[in-house]
Amino acid sequence: MQSAAVKRAPVIIALCGAAVCAAAVMFALTRAAQAVPQYSAQAGRTCDSCHILPGNWETPKVAHQKRNMSCGTCHIDPSGGGMRTTTGRFFGRSTLPMIAISPRPQDDWDRNLPGLGRHDKATPYNSALPEGPNNMGQAAAYRDSIHDKWAWGMPDGITPDTPWPGRHAGLNPDPIFRVGGDFRFAFLFGKGKTLAFPMQLDVHSALHPVHHATLLMNVGARGQNSGYSDTIDDSHTPYFRELFAMTNEWPYQAYAKAGRFVPAFGLKLDDHTTRTRREFELDTSLPETRVLGVEAGFVAAAPFFQASYFKMKSKFEVPDQWNVFDVDNGWGTAFNAGWRDLGWSAGASAMLRRRPLDEGGDTDTYALYGSINPWYFWQHVPLTFQGELDTGSEQRASGLKQHKLVMYGEADFMAWNGVTLLAAYDWADPDRDVIDDESGRFQLGAQITVYPGVTLDSRFRFLNVATPTGDATDFFTQLHLWF
């Protein structure tokens, strides 16, 4: 018998859906525009979130425009996550934290915690921020002003499809070699249990010797929530989380990559525990979600399309930590397409896996997702919404298919510089034919970034499952160090 909480889930979902629709209609009728997963929304509202003040930029041709919220704007991997681009680093230094170390966007000059006032040393706080180069010709003169601790060298020449010197203050816009990292230390407090464990220990590096060629390597640990020693002793610590060669920086931000990666599908959320990721072999924290394949696409302003073909290891085995060619007989393909503008985004994904039953059987997965960014329209409403609906099937050991339905929704409110409040709900029915297997989870929390590279993410998590006795609450917090 289903609990009342789970029975209420559809009602909650219906109300959320109605709210999203109402908001969408409202924005459509009020003003035009332009969104996003959380941070990209917060960046999309002003140009100076990702650049020093644009001044009188020449409008580039459409093929070279990057005025969108593509994952690839802030991450080397066009599918998102992991190592950051210079634009992503600039956003992390200027917009995200309480204390900015690159010039803060003008609209945020008075959005500090009450009582703190204007205090960033990097921000002049006079009538205007410094201006960067207006065109490629002027950009060359800014090469000498680059001083970057984590990126070295610069390929010869400047192309309209790469970031230009001078547009990210002193950061190297397009380095030959760069390093980065993501380290997450988690703490879980629940009834009768307290855990402290490493969730992520990733070191990224990217080699970019010439324009249009990039080699990305991300080496990390398989974090074990049983503790630090178990993580260090794990057979997959360390392992290649990503290793691919890519040709990129082409018109319309087109690219092609080959190697080990996670296929582009749906919203690549920061929270790897969401059911939209876990139910479909997309949990980015696990080595078994990595595939060997090729992916090509474009992430233009503002349409995007990505397609991949890949081979993978059996669902019941973990691929070798270093040998990226360790795959079995199955194959898969994924497609991801949509529109990402500055005030909203919408997309659809499909993924098929075909493999023998003893390797996990066939799976079909489909997703619709989108986001709306009210903050783009109203400076006094720092809100972002994003959501995803997934459905699909997978084969059980018997060969019969089980049909799934999974949903995710999140609202973020950036109350002050460096303080984002969030509410999220995800719900899953792993088998539409089976009783009492649904569960929903509501999260309420805050992400606090005091200084660039240091984020504290804390959440109360409420789980409701089909049997009332299983409902539970815990408090999860993670210290995320990144650069």
Partner 1 sequence: MHAATTRAPNRQLRACLFLLPVAVAAVIAACSSGNQTLDAVDPNAVAQNPTFDQVNAIIHNKCVMCHTATSGDGVSGIRFSASNNMQPLTSCTDIVAQRFDIVNRTEDNTMPPGVMPRLSSEEKLLLERWVANGAPAPCNPQP
The residues in 88-147 that bind partner 1, with binding defined as CB under 8 A, are: 106-107
CA dist., res. 264 & res. 464, Å (int): 30
Does 67 interact with partner 1 (rule: CB under 8 A)?
yes
Of these, 39, 164, 197, 239, which contacts partner 1 (CB under 8 A)? 197
Nearer to partner 1, 60 or 430 (CB): 430
When asked if residue 62 is in the footprint of partner 1 (CB under 8 A), the reply is no
Segment lying near partner 1 (by CB under 8 A), choices 169-177, 256-264, 284-292, 471-479: 471-479
235 contributes a contact to partner 1 by CB under 8 A: no
DSSP for 24-44, written as a single string: HHHHHHH------SHHHHHHH
SS3 assignment, position 357: helix
Q: Does residue 381 sit in helix, strand or coil?
A: coil
Nearer to partner 1, 5 or 246 (CB): 5
Give dist(CA 61, CA 411) in Å, integer.
34
- Residue by residue, DSSP assigns 53-85 as B--SPPPPPGGG---S--HHHHBSSTT--SSB-
SS (H, E, C) 300-339: CCCEEEEEEEEECCCCCCCCCCCCCCCCCCCEEEEEEEEE
The size of the interface with partner 1 (CB under 8 A), counted in residues, is 92
> Taking the CA atoms of the chain, what radius of gyration do you get in angstroms?
22
Q: Are strands 193-207 and 177-190 parallel, antiparallel or unpaired?
A: antiparallel
Between CA 324 and CA 319 the distance in angstroms is: 8
Nearest distance from C-beta of residue 206 to partner 1, angstroms: 28
Stretch that binds partner 1, among 40-48, 156-164, 255-263, 444-452 (CB under 8 A): 40-48
Picking from 393, 388, 454, 457, the residue whose alpha carbon sits closest to that of residue 420 is: 457
Which lies closer to partner 1 via its Cβ, residue 36 or residue 83?
A: 36
- Considering beta carbons, is residue 244 or 265 the nearer one to partner 1? 265
Question: Do residues 392 and 432 touch, judged by C-beta distance below 8 A?
Answer: no
Residue 40, CA distances (Å) to 62, 268, 302, 372 in order: 21, 12, 14, 11
- Is the Cβ of residue 45 or residue 241 nearer to partner 1 in the bound state? 45
Q: What distance in Å separates the CA atoms of residue 363 and residue 355, rounded to the nearest whole number? A: 9
Interface residue with partner 1, options 28, 116, 141, 381 (CB under 8 A): 28
Identify whether the C-beta of residue 163 lies closer than 8 Å to the C-beta of residue 146: no
Q: Are 373 and 251 in contact (CB under 8 A)?
A: no
230 contributes a contact to partner 1 by CB under 8 A: yes
- Judged by CB under 8 A, which of 47, 296, 446, 448 binds partner 1? 47
Q: Which C-beta is closer to partner 1: that of 67 or that of 143? A: 67
Select the residue interacting with partner 1 from 116, 130, 152, 194 (CB under 8 A): 194
Q: Which x/- pattern over 153-192 shows residues binding partner 1 (rule: CB under 8 A)?
A: -----------------------------------x-xxx
Q: For partner 1, which residue of 66, 104, 211, 441 counts as binding (CB under 8 A)?
A: 441
Rounded Cα distance, 184 and 220, in Å: 11
Tokens standing for residue 107: 């609209």
CA-nearest of 205, 222, 227, 221 to 84 is 205
Q: How far is the CB of 414 from partner 1 (least distance, A)?
A: 16
Q: Under the criterion CB under 8 A, does residue 40 sit at the interface with partner 1?
A: no
Task: Tell the smallest beta-carbon distance from residue 138 to partner 1 (Å).
Answer: 18
User: What would the x/- binding string for partner 1 be over residues 399 to 438, using CB under 8 A?
Assistant: -x-x--x-x-------------------x-xxxxxxx-xx
Max Cα–Cα distance, the chain, nearest Å: 71
- Which residues ranging from 252 to 291 are in contact with partner 1 (CB under 8 A)? 278
Asked if 9 is part of the footprint of partner 1 (rule: CB under 8 A), the reply reads: yes
Query: Which residue in the set 101, 136, 176, 195 belongs to the binding site for partner 1 (CB under 8 A)?
Result: 195
In the list 126, 193, 325, 380, the residue contacting partner 1 (rule: CB under 8 A) is: 193
- Using CB under 8 A as the binding rule, the residues of this chain from 323 to 362 that contact partner 1 are 339, 341-344, 346
Indicate which single residue of 38, 40, 42, 46 sits in contact with partner 1 (rule: CB under 8 A): 46
